[in-house]
């Protein structure tokens, strides 16, 4: 059998007639892609049997005028290297190894075989060396007051030059440090860090720049509270419930419940007014007032509470609920209230705080 990169050929007796037709065929890759600073191996091989003899092999760069020979191999006289490039290179019988390649080495290469009795056989390989910057993106999700550490280099053992800019702005003056290997450390994380983009540029090679780009998303667990104001006027009883959500980020949603059912503004005797604010630190604050009017002539009891749904890291939504307020009204139209245990509900837990 004969093998080359990406190929493996195994021949049996029934394939001998095919081999006789393929003798003298060169096996090689059409194109090879690489970055500046990397090592490249160009390979080609020739199918040969008892009826063909390889007397000499040669590598050349043929997109220049005149074409430049790189190396010649003769089974008796050995390998002859010719002036080619400052890049170090070596040559095995069927492979050309280039180390620390630069953009100037892009182009067409030719491997040729002097054979008997088929004459010279040659094939071309295009070497593409990419010059554009490499950019690596990632998003990190942080909780308020956590410590963020962003590595500049990941899975790299060496680099040519590294450029890290440490800001002196008041926003980060006392919260930023450069750690080992130029890792960026920010502590504590604040709301103002949300959406910020940090980048580290690494000159891995004079012709190759790597840029690591990190975007920050910040999450804060909100606080929720409920309060009651009540009054009565003649035959009409009225209660005002206020739900307040503080220290939330990103923006949450607030929902009212009565006896386990979602309340809507169009319900009879119900009106809801909501206000969305943002404080000086960037937190969202939601205020919602629920006004209840009752003219029922029968005794009724209703339990009210409000729930805050807020985005959380991992593309999840969490919920937190206020305490429950029970409103009782009867024929006298008086409203009596009491606060039940405070219940917190999250996406995966249920806990009680008395």
pLDDT tens digit string along 15-58? 323 333 445 577 777 889 888 888 999 988 887 666 778 889 99
What confidence tier does 295 reach under pLDDT thresholds 50, 70, 90? low
CA 127 to CA 109: how far, in whole Å?
7
Please give the mean pLDDT across all residues of the chain.
77
The answer for 168, left when phi > 0, alpha when psi is -120 to 50, beta otherwise, is alpha
Res 277: pLDDT: 92
* Cα angle, residue 182 at apex, residues 181 and 185 outer, rounded to 5°: 115
CA 6 to CA 139: how far, in whole Å?
36
Res 54: pLDDT: 85
Lowest mean pLDDT: which of 54-58, 65-69, 290-294? 290-294
Domain ranges across the chain: 2-129, 134-219, 223-353
Res 332: pLDDT: 41
**Does the pLDDT at position 233 exceed 90?**
no
CA 69 to CA 66: how far, in whole Å?
10
- Specify the pairing of strand 119-129 against strand 31-34: parallel
**Does the pLDDT at position 311 exceed 60?**
yes
pLDDT tens digit string along 128-179? 988 767 788 999 999 999 999 998 866 544 444 444 454 546 677 788 888 8
Res 301: pLDDT: 83
Res 147: pLDDT: 96
In percent, how much of the chain has pLDDT > 70? Answer: 71
Rounded to an integer, the average pLDDT of 318-332 is: 81
Q: What are phi and psi of 31, to 5 degrees?
A: -150, 150
Beta bridge partners of 202: 162, 210
223-353 domain in CATH 2.60.40.10? Answer: yes
Residue 220 DSSP one-character state: B
Q: Do domains 2-129 and 223-353 have the same CATH topology?
A: yes
**Does the pLDDT at position 94 exceed 80?**
no
CATH class of 2-129: mainly beta
**134-219: CATH superfamily:** Immunoglobulins (2.60.40.10)
Res 36: pLDDT: 85
**Does the pLDDT at position 232 exceed 90?**
no
**Does the pLDDT at position 279 exceed 50?**
yes
- CB of 150 closer than 8 Å to CB of 165: no
Res 14: pLDDT: 29
Quickly count: other Cβ atoms within 10 Å of residue 130's Cβ. Answer: 15
- Is cis: bond before 250, omega within 30 of 0? yes
């Amino acid at each position: 059998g004969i093998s080359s990169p990406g190929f493996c050929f195994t021949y049996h007796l029934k394939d001998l007639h095919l081999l006789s037709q393929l003798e003298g065929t060169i096996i090689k890759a059409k194109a090879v892609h690489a970055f500046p600073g990397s090592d490249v191996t160009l390979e080609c091989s020739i199918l040969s049997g008892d009826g063909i003899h390889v007397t000499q092999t040669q590598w050349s760069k043929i997109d220049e005028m005149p074409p430049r020979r790189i190396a010649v191999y003769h089974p008796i006289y050995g390998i002859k290297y010719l002036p080619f490039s400052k890049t170090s290179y070596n040559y095995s019988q069927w492979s050309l190894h280039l180390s620390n390649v630069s953009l100037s080495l892009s182009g067409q290469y030719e491997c040729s075989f002097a054979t008997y009795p088929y004459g010279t056989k040659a094939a071309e390989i295009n070497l593409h060396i990419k010059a554009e910057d490499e950019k690596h993106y990632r998003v990190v999700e942080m909780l308020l007051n956590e410590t963020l550490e962003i590595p500049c280099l990941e899975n790299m053992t060496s680099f040519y030059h590294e450029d890290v800019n440490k800001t002196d702005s008041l926003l980060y003056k006392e919260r930023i440090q450069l750690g080992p290997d130029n890792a960026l450390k920010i502590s504590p994380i604040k709301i103002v860090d949300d959406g910020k983009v940090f980048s580290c540029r690494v000159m891995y090679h004079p012709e190759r720049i790597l840029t690591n780009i990190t975007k920050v998303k910040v999450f804060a667990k909100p606080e929720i509270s409920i309060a009651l104001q009540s009054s009565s006027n003649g035959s009409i009883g009225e209660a005002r419930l206020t739900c307040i959500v503080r220290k939330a980020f990103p923006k949450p949603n607030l929902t009212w419940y009565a006896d386990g059912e979602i309340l809507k503004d169009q319900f009879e005797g119900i009106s809801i007014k909501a206000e969305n604010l943002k404080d000086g630190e960037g937190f969202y604050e939601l205020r919602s007032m629920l006004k209840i009017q009752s003219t029922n002539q029968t005794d009724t009891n209703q339990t009210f509470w409000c729930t805050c749904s807020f985005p959380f890291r991992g593309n999840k939504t969490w919920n937190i609920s206020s305490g429950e307020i029970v409103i009782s009204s009867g024929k006298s139209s008086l409203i009596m209230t009491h606060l039940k245990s405070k219940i917190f509900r999250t996406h995966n837990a249920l806990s009680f705080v008395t």
